[in-house]
């Protein structure tokens, strides 16, 4: 991308599950980085019990990005430590609306305290996806609503299996 050296971008998140909004941000990242690593975190800043295990969330990421130039991994522990381990130059996060800003700003500042060399960039998803969140998708799916416009088919199948069985 720079002509001098490869830029590696790390896109971390809970991805519980990965939505079309996440997919859009990951693919947009390919426009600004040579290497894109989508990393599902075991520990989220927000206290929440995930609907899908770490392994399941990673499997869904691998399914939706299959055949694309996007690596999918999981990590435990601090984001800054994993960023160092995978050689990331920048961390990418999606910014949907002003309401996301405070949370993202707080995390970016804390991460900067932990590793001043790491840069954070924020990408906005397609406007049509800007209302979308994994938590809304989970709740709608759990209550029997149709989420087929919000997630890719491998994720839809998992949601059906998870919540129809519940």
Give me the least distance between CB of 10 and ligand PNS, in Å please.
10
Whether residue 17 has a cis bond before it, omega within 30° of 0 = yes
Bin 156: left if φ > 0, else alpha if -120 < ψ < 50, else beta: alpha
Q: Is 12 exposed, middle or buried (0-12, 13-18, 19+ CB in 10 A)?
A: buried
Q: Which of 25, 29, 28 is nearest to 8 (CA)?
A: 29
- Residue with Cβ nearer ligand PNS (1 or 87): 87
Give me the least distance between CB of 16 and ligand PNS, in Å please.
8
Give me the least distance between CB of 53 and ligand PNS, in Å please.
15
- Residue with Cβ nearer ligand PNS (1 or 139): 139
Q: Which residues pair with 90 in a beta bridge?
A: 9, 119
DSSP 25-48: HHHHHTTT-SEEEEEEESS-SS--
Give me the least distance between CB of 117 and ligand PNS, in Å please.
15
3-state class of 69 per DSSP? coil
Q: Which residues of the shown chain bind ligand PNS in the complex (CB under 6 A)?
A: 12-14, 41, 43-46, 78-79, 107, 110-111
- Residue with Cβ nearer ligand PNS (1 or 81): 81
Give me the least distance between CB of 111 and ligand PNS, in Å please.
5
- Residue with Cβ nearer ligand PNS (2 or 49): 49
- Residue with Cβ nearer ligand PNS (93 or 158): 93
Length of the chain measured in residues = 166
Longest Cα–Cα distance of the chain, Å, equals: 52
């Amino acid at each position: 991308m720079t002509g001098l050296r490869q830029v590696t971008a790390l896109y971390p998140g809970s991805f519980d599950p990965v939505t079309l909004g996440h997919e859009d941000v990951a693919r947009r990242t390919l426009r600004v980085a040579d290497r894109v690593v989508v990393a599902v975190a075991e520990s989220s800043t927000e206290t929440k019990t995930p609907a899908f295990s770490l392994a399941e969330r990673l499997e869904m990421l691998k399914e939706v990005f299959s055949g694309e130039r996007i690596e999918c991994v999981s990590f435990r522990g601090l984001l800054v430590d994993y960023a160092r381990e995978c050689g990331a130059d920048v961390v990418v996060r999606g910014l949907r609306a002003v309401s996301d800003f405070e949370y993202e700003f707080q995390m970016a500042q804390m991460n900067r305290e932990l590793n001043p060399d790491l840069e954070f960039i924020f990408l906005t998803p397609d406007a049509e996806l800007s209302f979308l969140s994994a938590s809304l998708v989970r709740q709608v799916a759990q209550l029997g609503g149709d989420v087929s416009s919000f997630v890719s088919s491998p994720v839809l199948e998992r949601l059906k299996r998870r919540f129809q069985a519940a």
